[in-house]
Amino acid sequence: MVIHSLLAATLMMTSLPAADVQAKADCAKVKCLALTFDDGPSDHTATLLKVLRKEQAKATFFLVGKQVERRPAVAKSEAAQGHAIGNHTYSHPSLPSKLDNDVIDEIKSTQALIEQATGQRPKMFRPPYGHTDERVLGLAGQQDLAQVLWSGTTLDWKLRDVKQIKAAVLRLAKRDGVILMHDTVPQTVQAMPEIIKELKKQGYRLVTVPALLRGKALTPGVSYP
């Protein structure tokens, strides 16, 4: 009976869809890394989603409201495939120079657009350019959002080169790291198959930002990592 139970459990695991396999990752026990993508959804995001699905990898997408307006179906696909979704403002301004009401409008309008497209209301917010301060963090917290920055940025928007972007990701990779990229950069999307394969060889499980917290909830008004 024990042998039969073990066999059944093994068969069940091998037949799990990618999202369920990913959900089993325990970042307290395995080496996890979060790949994050800003500024989309773009014309290249659908291709990136195909790569992630094939490789059974999860990512985190910080969406710009006006891009969600243009491509709501892509945003919906991101959420449906089990990726984490965050708010990246409506028009991608530098927030510290904005008035309180303008910051709130940038965040609230994007929350509504993402929820309309995906059925999910984000719990994460990433300030454009990483420009933030205590006031911006507090305003995000008022909208029930945690701020998510990064442990390393590839500067892919500047590199625009597949080999250099891959090298940057591998250089920045570390356990529980959060790597910043952009799905608006075609070379980043082109580099992803090789990046993911190499990261897997190094023992990484590619998870969402929330998965790095090992079951703990993101706290509004708190900055991560």
Known catalytic residues are: 38, 182
Report yes or no: 183 and 61 within 8 Å, Cβ to Cβ.
Answer: yes
- Any residues with CB less than 8 A from the CB of 159 and at least 6 apart, and which? 165, 168, 187
CA dist., res. 25 & res. 220, Å (int) = 24
Confirm if 34 and 208 have CB atoms less than 8 A apart. yes
What is the rounded distance in angstroms from the CA atom of residue 166 to the CA atom of residue 194?
A: 8
